[in-house]
Structure 1
């Protein structure tokens, strides 16, 4: 659904319709040909952004769009110093802008901007699910929120010129695809889950009934290319091997379509997957993974996205590398675009 002057404020924007004109240190943004915001830019300790014109119908989204444009085009930029003639209360209340030391001065911090759940999560439920501790199979953990259905994340990746999105797996829709991917010899080497359609239906039905695991399909421009499992680490087999936090998430990853392999694609979908998990619950402080220790290529890709290898350890079925990325490190170092 396009983001234009008639759309509701929380609709996911189609940012390829966001157009920029930059002349003499002035940046003007338009959406669907309609003026949105004009600012004058100056370089100092941070990027100084002086507001000149603002769309009166949607000032919050206009400010968001300008922050998005300036931060996504320059991954090294850590903050924007805004100069506004009057405050935009919603921008301050949401954390998009922080009040500065001087009147009329506000700061947009990169580490806060990418933690704002909208528009990346679309119409997914917002807010924090209440905490109640449970005991399952001897493991004490929080009660988990009901699993979402449908698309849970969408972002336009300017580096690829493509949409990267995540949706929940639907067995009837995705079983044949999942079966084909799992029986690929390259995938079988690491996943060891080859089998028949009946076996894979049983596998996916079991995960669907498991509250600690969410099965996801990764898409580029709405074409499925990968399968992911996101799990709560506290209830998982990984928990005994490190001090798992109550809201740590873990990931299993499978790229099924050969055309979407390669480091530039991994940088896009891995950052999107981790971004989604950190946005899904603001209490999540770490995302972990346990690839096979001999999967040097994947470990290298993960290190390229700021994961670090904590240690190697032994599962009953494999020697694994414990890969971890913390929330603070991700939002300080992420190169989302």
Structure 2
């Protein structure tokens, strides 16, 4: 029996014909990397191959130099297997990886979203026979509002806190979410301050995107300077001595999990903004349909329920175990696992799984 073009083993997603791995979670010789988040881009590989816009991200985060950059749709061949990177729209530099051998085409999405966020190269549909998809938000209860509406709410929240003489502290991952928020904050309202982790990452990305000006918070920064302004911070800063010095402040968090009151309560934030760098339920289904794929492999997320629904639609769908973590893999430093359990989500919304799927 012929081995599949891509297979899952204890190191990652392996192409035996080319002897390369896609987003491996253990050290390997040749690693093709979709994007810079920690669960997909790990230290220790002999050679990294990724899209050119992701090269500075990997070099900054992993402190490595052995990184090769490719352009969008640029085909490169390894032992007669054709590879190419295609926009995933997840964060800056994020790619899908297309793999072709003897007329068979597989696509690995990594993480992706279909809404154009204004800073990442928008998601591109790539036709294939087998589609390896994340399903971080693979339940029908997830339906995102347009980004413009969410950012209007963020700026209005800032204005309300400003009127009360309070500092607005907004949490978002240092790579991806923070820059998406920054791009659409209204700089006319006041100064935008940043935590060091976000400031450092933003400086790496400034050559690629025109961001508003930011001011790094240092030991010399007085809390009086922050009043009425907004602070971008990673989730790991919540509850730290760093943030307690900013009182009086109001906290907000931007995440897909903010769709649920329970998630907001468990994270002890004053305001939740539902803004995700992953597809919602409809985005996943539309993306899969557009590829023309007959086979679908669901990885991280609500993979069991999602693949079950796909089989009911007529797809040859199954799940595969990986070490990818969706939005929880985008955490900065220590933090609780962000993914809500199926039981918690469905119980909170009083949804019967069988009826909904």
Query: Which bin holds the TM-score, normalised by the shorter protein?
Result: under 0.3
TM-score normalized by the length of structure 2: 0.24
TM-score normalized by the length of structure 1: 0.25
Relative contact order (C-alpha < 8 Å, sep 6+): which is higher?
Answer: 2
